[in-house]
Amino acid sequence: MPQNLERAIPLRSVRTKNSSKDWTSDSDGSDKFEWDSDGEAEASSAPAMRNFDAPGPSTLSSNGWINGEPPPTSLIEGYVAMGFPKEMVVRSSKEIGHGDADALLELLLTYKALGDDDDALGNHSTSGCNLPIVEDDDDLDFENWDGDDDTGGRESSSDDSGYEEFLREMSDKDEKINSLRDMGFSEDEANMAITICGVDADLSVLVDSISASQVTEVCHSRNLSDHQVTARCFDSFGGKKRARLIEESKKKRKRYGGGAQGKRPSSDGSDEESMPLPNPMVGFNLPGYRGPSMTRVLPELATGPPYFYYENVARAPKGVWAKITRFLFDIQPEFVDSLHLCAAARKRGYIHNLPTENRSPLLPLPPKTIFEAFPHDKKWWPSWDQRTHFNCLQTCTASAPVTERIQQKLSSSGNPPPQSVQKYVRHQCSKWNLVWVGKDKAAPLEPHEMEYLLGFPKDHTRGFGKTQRYKSLGNSFQVDTVAYHLSVLRDMFPNGITVLSLFTGIGGGEVALHKLGIHMRAVVSIEICKANRKILRSWWDQTQTGTLIEIDDVKSLKDDEIASYVHRFGGFDLVIGGSPCNNLAGSNRHHRDGLEGEHSSLFYDYFRILNSVKSAMANM
């Protein structure tokens, strides 16, 4: 049931909680792996803040202190040593006094949850702090909704929306939870510290916060009076014991490179390198883009034949793209957001040794906005939903209760609906890529609409259930983007090409080549998902005359078999594929382990097979 946000609850009853959900991601390496989405999740529970008990004006002295007594300097320094800003301690002491150490500590923790800046202190009084709490969409209190308006314009409709910010925040949180667990703290302690201090807090601040919580627990367990809590907790536990705890934590952090971020060394012993993403994310060049084109010089080892093309999610954990680059001959990645080519965002990184000059887009050009793609929906689109692009198309979509709640709330609201309702509906529409199909009626994209946005032919995935179709499409290439990069092969191979396709999926690379008019004499396709193999085979039999050889697992493809295919076809002209991003995408809540993860480690098989092809071709 919705919680009554206007009901006053004493300060001591304020508690925070953290809920976590399993997240999955968007590159399928196995049909045995359970998928949900590339970054979609229901809102996690937020701290519940209520009207706090506060002293009335009669208890304040002329100098502003409760009962006329400023707090002792030692007390202020003790709280500052825990990680609370001095101004926050002074302000809190003025508001509720310092006689009740338990209440003062809880107020400080509350202010920490609200933020350490002056705005947080100034805009939330203890006499009336009514913040919304979203426990579950089923019980949303619309009248108190004040979520971020993340779909106000074109920029917010891309992957840079508030929802993507949420995903990045979740991935940062995972990293810090893992670091704190490595230091010996429990996951509950780590979650609570992050809830109190914020995701952006330094690791050392989070350690201090956990220490502060332990101070409170120890003092409460001893049933000490308020003055005893103040004196003994700071002098004894808050002094020597806290110092020992911090020192032990520092020693543990040294094992992982030290520093505030607590980062771990990479597997080769070197420090992880960051690779900032460009803004705008347009790669080396895009059709119609007026910015400067990028030129590059390839290392000698990277030059074709064969040409190769590798893809994965742009926003991977720190150090991942630097490592991928090192393995793939130090070639600079080309980061592209597909919203510059179509009506849906899709941020991806590509490493390849293809020429970058004389590219050409597929014609006719795909629609670049929602209304261009679906003009018939425009008549139902409310003026306050200003999206022009969809977010990244996912492997799952909104449930019926989500769309039913939207329709019910809009039907019972005025025209236009209240701002609280608008914000909630815009958030859900952006999050789930909903379209307006009737009065007050928002609905998920149908599979054939996703096929259209991703550049696949109509009914490409038809014949399978919706769940499988969404899953297969959510894990696919955006065909127009890939075709733009591969377009240089058209003049280079007028008689057709042979392709080694790794992690083929539903054949996004093959469809791109076909749309470019490039004949595929032979394709050796490796794809573990049986449904995806059936989709590719069905399309191939309807459109192609070349040879299609199917293998179900990259790990089963050994050097001698690769050499036999090289001998049979006279080599491969193109090696293409995108290894699973299960352990790379920020949406994967518990298994974002980078290239060492169970599924994303298959990148090393891409590298192994590519090297084997190059070696076999060199020996021809």
Segment among 85-94, 101-110, 127-136, 177-186 with least mean pLDDT: 127-136
Contact 343, 367 (CB under 8 A): yes
Neighbours of 81 (CB within 10 A): 17
Local structure of 102: helix, strand or coil: helix
- The predicted-structure confidence for 97-145, as pLDDT tens digits, reads as follows 777 776 777 677 766 655 533 333 433 333 333 333 333 333 333 333 3
Q: What is the pLDDT of residue 39?
A: 38
Rounded CA-CA distance 504/575 in Å is 11
Range picked from 139-143, 156-160, 204-208 for highest mean pLDDT: 204-208
Cis amide bond preceding 366, omega within 30? no
129 is catalytic: no
Question: Which tokens hold the place of 240?
Answer: 């020597």
Q: Please, which residues have CB within 8 angstroms of residue 302's CB and are 6 or more apart in sequence?
A: 328, 329, 330, 331, 353
Q: What is the pLDDT of residue 170?
A: 56
Q: What is the pLDDT of residue 499?
A: 98
Q: What is the mean pLDDT of the chain?
A: 73
204 vs 587, higher pLDDT: 204
Q: What is the pLDDT of residue 93?
A: 77
Rounded CA-CA distance 410/455 in Å is 33
**pLDDT band with cut points at 50, 70 and 90 for residue 41:** very low
**pLDDT band with cut points at 50, 70 and 90 for residue 530:** very high
Rounded CA-CA distance 71/425 in Å is 47
Q: What is the per-residue DSSP string for 536-577?
A: HHHHHHHH--SEEEEES-GGG--HHHHHHHHHHHTS-SEEEE
Contact 206, 197 (CB under 8 A): yes
Q: How large is the average pLDDT for residues 2-18?
A: 35
Contact 432, 397 (CB under 8 A): yes
Rounded CA-CA distance 194/571 in Å is 54
Q: How large is the average pLDDT for residues 70-98?
A: 75
Question: Which tokens hold the place of 350?
Answer: 């590509």
Question: Which tokens hold the place of 297?
Answer: 């010089």
Rounded CA-CA distance 42/44 in Å is 6
**Using CB atoms within 10 A of its CB, is residue 313 exposed (0-12), middle (13-18) or buried (19+)?**
buried
Segment among 89-98, 351-360, 545-554 with least mean pLDDT: 89-98
Q: What is the pLDDT of residue 410?
A: 95
- The predicted-structure confidence for 563-616, as pLDDT tens digits, reads as follows 999 999 999 999 999 877 655 565 544 455 666 655 667 888 899 999 999 999
Q: How large is the average pLDDT for residues 181-205?
A: 73
CA atoms within 13 A on the CB side of 316: 34
Rounded CA-CA distance 231/542 in Å is 81
Q: What is the pLDDT of residue 152?
A: 33
* H/E run at residue 164: helix 162-182
The residue annotated as part of the active site, out of 197, 219, 392, 581, is 581
Q: Please, which residues have CB within 8 angstroms of residue 332's CB and are 6 or more apart in sequence?
A: 296, 325, 351
Is the pLDDT score of 52 beyond 50?
no
Is the pLDDT score of 2 beyond 80?
no
Contact 430, 157 (CB under 8 A): yes
Q: What is the pLDDT of residue 173?
A: 72
Segment among 178-192, 437-451, 549-563, 603-617 with least mean pLDDT: 178-192
User: What number of helices (H) and strands (E) belong to the chain?
Assistant: 21, 9
Rounded CA-CA distance 156/150 in Å is 6
Residue found under tokens 């064969």: 306
In degrees rounded to 5, what are phi and psi of residue 501?
-110, 110
Rounded CA-CA distance 523/526 in Å is 10
Contact 486, 514 (CB under 8 A): no
47 vs 387, higher pLDDT: 387
- The predicted-structure confidence for 326-350, as pLDDT tens digits, reads as follows 999 999 999 999 999 999 999 999 9
Contact 355, 336 (CB under 8 A): no
Is the pLDDT score of 84 beyond 90?
no
- The predicted-structure confidence for 408-444, as pLDDT tens digits, reads as follows 999 999 889 999 999 999 999 999 999 999 999 999 9
Q: What is the pLDDT of residue 450?
A: 97
Look at residues 187, 192, 190 and name the one whose alpha carbon lies nearest to residue 203.
Answer: 190
Look at residues 512, 270, 476, 469 and name the one whose alpha carbon lies nearest to residue 392.
Answer: 476
Is the pLDDT score of 12 beyond 50?
no
Look at residues 204, 182, 180 and name the one whose alpha carbon lies nearest to residue 192.
Answer: 180
**pLDDT band with cut points at 50, 70 and 90 for residue 223:** low
CA atoms within 13 A on the CB side of 227: 1
Is the pLDDT score of 553 beyond 80?
yes
212 vs 592, higher pLDDT: 212
**pLDDT band with cut points at 50, 70 and 90 for residue 212:** low
Q: What is the pLDDT of residue 206?
A: 78
In degrees rounded to 5, what are phi and psi of residue 401?
-60, -35
Q: Looking at the whole model, is its pTM more than 0.75?
A: no
- The predicted-structure confidence for 496-518, as pLDDT tens digits, reads as follows 999 999 999 999 999 999 999 99
Contact 233, 240 (CB under 8 A): no
Is the pLDDT score of 451 beyond 50?
yes
Q: Please, which residues have CB within 8 angstroms of residue 205's CB and are 6 or more apart in sequence?
A: 83, 197
Q: How large is the average pLDDT for residues 232-253?
A: 47
Rounded CA-CA distance 67/332 in Å is 66
Angle at 415 between CA 413 and CA 421, to 5 degrees: 50
Q: How large is the average pLDDT for residues 12-39?
A: 37
Segment among 169-178, 315-324, 437-446 with least mean pLDDT: 169-178
Contact 410, 425 (CB under 8 A): yes
Q: How large is the average pLDDT for residues 359-370?
A: 94
CA atoms within 13 A on the CB side of 435: 22
**pLDDT band with cut points at 50, 70 and 90 for residue 76:** confident
Q: What is the per-residue DSSP string for 473-499?
A: HHTS--HHHHHHHHTTHHHH-TT-EEE
Is the pLDDT score of 48 beyond 60?
no
Is the pLDDT score of 201 beyond 60?
yes
DSSP-derived letter for residue 138 is G
Q: How large is the average pLDDT for residues 226-236?
A: 44
